[in-house]
Amino acid sequence: MKKRQLIISGIVILLLISYIGVKNYAKQKAEEKINREIAKMANVAHIDYKDVSVNLFSSDIHIYNVEVSPVNSNNKFTIKEISIYDFDDKSSPPTFLNLEVEGLSLPINQIKDPAMKKTLTDLGYKDKLSLNYSIKYHYDKDDKKLKLDKFKIGADELGDLKINFVLGNLDLDPNKVGALIFTYPQVILYKLKIKYEDDSLVERILKLQAKQQNKTVKQLKKEIEENIKKQIAATNNKIIKEALDEFIDFIDNPDEITISIKPDKPLPLGRLMRENNPFELIKLLNVKVDAD
């Protein structure tokens, strides 16, 4: 019995040592790859990080406490964590990517645009913004189809903007990508969704505008809603009426709002650009607005 227990214990210890060894090896390889990518950006910014971890089962790579110092600048940005879940390191540009950036600290006093800095300060952002960013996409070289599953950018106490779309007839060959300036009208739109989730930004904007106009927020909201209702009464377009109704709901209770575009059949961008009637364009795109 004791002999069996010793054998089992030995196997467990051996497996544990093997796991630690493989994990350390994976971490070393991940650091080598990260360092190579950082070296490529040496003429743009100096980048440093404190630690790296690798999940052996999912192959996720997590980079912690990143510091970015742009070249020829005294500014420094810090990032709490960068998570790389999937990445094509064999193609340029990568045909697939799944990445998240959490806690990119942007000090208000480092913003160079005076107007932007003043606006943020007036809105009550005094110290810094903590930005979060994520992207997940896949590009099929054979079908020339780009599927953006997720693009999200936002900040704490501000809000999140989320975008996803599917585009076709899009040639991202590095030798041909420069021609997109001429060929983009042939790119096909399958669908597009834009979603905004508020985290106090809208209320801050309303509060600031109300103060500048010597009104209460309630009075300003009522004025905005009355103006929208006038636009609703002035149109016979059902889609426009429904969309404007949703905007009224969002102004009254700023939580989240979604704009969805899904044409009955895929449309070339050039066809959309030739449409001068905004009502026909909305109908063509099959636009829907939903506020929760």
> Would you list the domain boundaries of the chain?
88-291
Between 22-36, 72-86, 165-179, the lowest mean confidence (pLDDT) is in 22-36
81 and 103 Cβ atoms separated by less than 8 Å: yes
CA 60, CA 290: separation in Å to the nearest integer?
A: 35
| pLDDT score recorded for residue 26 | 54
- Give the CB-side neighbour count of residue 121, counting CA atoms within 13 A: 11
DSSP per position, 166-177: EEES----TTTG
Burial 266-282 (b: 16+ CB within 10 A, else e): ebbbeeeeeeeeeeeeb
DSSP per position, 93-141: S-SEEEEEEEEEEEEGGG---HHHHHHHHHTT--SEEEEEEEEEEEEET
CA 227, CA 221: separation in Å to the nearest integer?
A: 10
Q: Is 200 helix (H, G, I), strand (E, B) or coil?
A: coil
Read off the pLDDT band of 188 (50, 70, 90): very high
Tell me which residue of 182, 275, 292 sits closest to 284, measured CA to CA: 275
Average pLDDT over residues 196-214: 95
| pLDDT score recorded for residue 3 | 44
CA 151, CA 200: separation in Å to the nearest integer?
A: 21
What tokens were used for 22?
Answer: 């493989």
CA 191, CA 196: separation in Å to the nearest integer?
A: 17
| pLDDT score recorded for residue 21 | 44
DSSP per position, 23-90: HHHHHHHHHHHHHHHHHHTTTTEEEE-SEEEE-TTT--EEEEEEEEEETT----EEEEEEEEEEE--S
DSSP state of 187: P
Average pLDDT over residues 150-159: 94
| pLDDT tens, residue by residue, 29-77 | 767 777 787 888 788 888 898 988 887 666 788 889 999 888 887 778 8
Between 205-209, 254-258, 259-263, 271-275, the lowest mean confidence (pLDDT) is in 271-275
CA 131, CA 104: separation in Å to the nearest integer?
A: 5
* Cβ neighbours of 2 (radius 10 Å): 6
Q: Does 5 have pLDDT greater than 80?
A: no
Burial 160-179 (b: 16+ CB within 10 A, else e): bebbbbbbbbbebeeeeeee
Instruction: State pTM to two decimals.
Output: 0.83
| pLDDT score recorded for residue 8 | 36
Read off the pLDDT band of 192 (50, 70, 90): very high
Read off the pLDDT band of 80 (50, 70, 90): very high
| pLDDT score recorded for residue 15 | 36
Average pLDDT over residues 183-211: 95
| Residue keyed to tokens 């899009």 | 170
Rank 19-23, 30-34, 42-46, 245-249 by mean pLDDT and report only the highest: 245-249
CA 260, CA 139: separation in Å to the nearest integer?
A: 22
CB within 8 Å of 179: residues ≥ 6 apart? 171
More confident residue, 23 or 85: 85
| pLDDT score recorded for residue 11 | 36
Read off the pLDDT band of 24 (50, 70, 90): low
pLDDT above 90 coverage of the chain, percent: 53
Read off the pLDDT band of 20 (50, 70, 90): very low
